[in-house]
Amino acid sequence: MKGKVWPAEWRERRDPLTGRVVRQLTDYKGHSHHLYFTNPGWYDEGRRLLFGSDRENRTNLFSLDLETGEITQLTDLAPLDPPQEISFLATSVNPTRPEAYFWYGQDLIALDLHSLEERVIYRAPDGFRVSMLNCTADGRSVCVGLFEDLSDRFQVELSHGYVGFYEYWEARPLSRIVEIATDGSRTEVVWEERYWIGHVNTSPTRPRLLTFCHEGPWQLVDQRIWGLDLDTGRVWKIRPREEEGERIGHEYWLADGETIGYHGTVGDRPIFGFIRYDNSERQEATIAAHSMHFHSNDRRLIVGDGSRDKPYLLLWRWEGEEIEGPRVLCGHRSSFHIQQTHVHPRFTPDGRHVLFTSDHTGYGNVYLVEVPEFESLAPLEE
């Protein structure tokens, strides 16, 4: 029920590997997850956090009070049949007012986070599937990705084991990036091409700048990271590919809104890097351990989520030209089985904690762990 208040579910435990205190924020016999790591879910001056949760046989959006642990249900949505299952991973918070945006089927919903009033501000055209969305830094627009629905040509379960992932890349679907005014007054297709587009990410400080990617197997796409100027429509390569078989991806904006982080492999070397949106100030290094996802607020401290055989939160520190680490922050033991249970770690805005999801209890839940002094953490053992 919309507006229903759930008592605090949080509990604390000491990580058996590192001794760090980990706070479990949710505890329900159904998956809960924070937003995708490129989409910050904090609002109300950082006092509340959005998360998606499967409760009472439905998937809805919830808000957690970070001072009391109290949980408020924000939506009351009827389930949808595949392939339009409800997911709140792509939810985006307006940075200038208490409003959030999410997909419900083909409808883009604006939700007032105080009154819980909902309104449809856009409907995706028939024949297209919806993708990542992000609000611009001035709060005036939401930018979304769309791509042709090809599920009548091959099996597609992209959130459940990437079924159809290679086939989608190979098919070169018609894709669009659409800018939608948050007041519902204007809609414009700002980019269109016959390549699978994903990961539309707006700069957190520059309202007319975003990145998107050519989606598909990283080693096979022509170029992963692209920039787009919303005023001019100009598109350009960011961190252009330099050799065949490079795997570059999971790009994200740093808090400055100018710099992009990314990771991948070059040859057989796992790498991590930073680059400005104009391809200047590139900084790239070989790292000693791979992770599925990385995040950082700045160029100094980076968190990764390890892998299935090394299920740990790992920290790296960049000092001058040298990258140190990884050091083990805590274990997470997540399965990575579906998108909702990917760890997707990200720093809190103040950098003092790492937010992550894990299903090590059997159900996905949301966790916070404090970030100590880097030197206090043990190096990852090979």
Q: How confident is the model over 359-379, as pLDDT tens digits?
A: 999 999 999 999 999 999 999
Sign of CA dihedral 221, 224, 230, 232: negative
What is the pLDDT at residue 338? Answer: 76
Dihedral, 200, 205, 209, 213 alpha carbons, nearest 10: -30
What does the pLDDT look like over 218-239, one tens digit per residue? 999 999 999 999 999 999 999 9
Q: Is 373 in a helix, a strand, or coil?
A: coil
Point out which residues pair with 226 in neighbouring strands.
Answer: 212, 237
Sign of CA dihedral 70, 75, 78, 80: negative
pLDDT band at 168 (very low <50, low <70, confident <90, very high): confident
What does the pLDDT look like over 27-61, one tens digit per residue? 999 999 999 999 999 999 999 999 999 999 999 99
- Asked if 356 contacts 340 with a C-beta cutoff of 8 angstroms, the reply is no
pLDDT band at 156 (very low <50, low <70, confident <90, very high): low
Could you give the residue ranges of the DSSP H alpha helices within 100-186?
165-171
Q: How many CB atoms lie within 10 A of CB 353?
A: 17
What is the pLDDT at residue 336? Answer: 80
Whether residue 186 is predicted with pLDDT greater than 80 in this model: the reply is yes
- Cα–Cα distances in Å, from 77 out to 53, 87, 270, 341? 12, 11, 42, 21
Residue 240, both tokens: 């252009």
pLDDT band at 321 (very low <50, low <70, confident <90, very high): confident
Whether residue 82 is predicted with pLDDT greater than 80 in this model: the reply is no
User: Beta strands of 35-186 (E only): which ranges?
Assistant: 42-43, 48-55, 58-65, 71-73, 92-93, 99-104, 107-112, 118-123, 128-135, 141-148, 174-181
pLDDT band at 335 (very low <50, low <70, confident <90, very high): confident
What mean pLDDT do residues 305-309 have?
88
**DSSP code of residue 134:** E
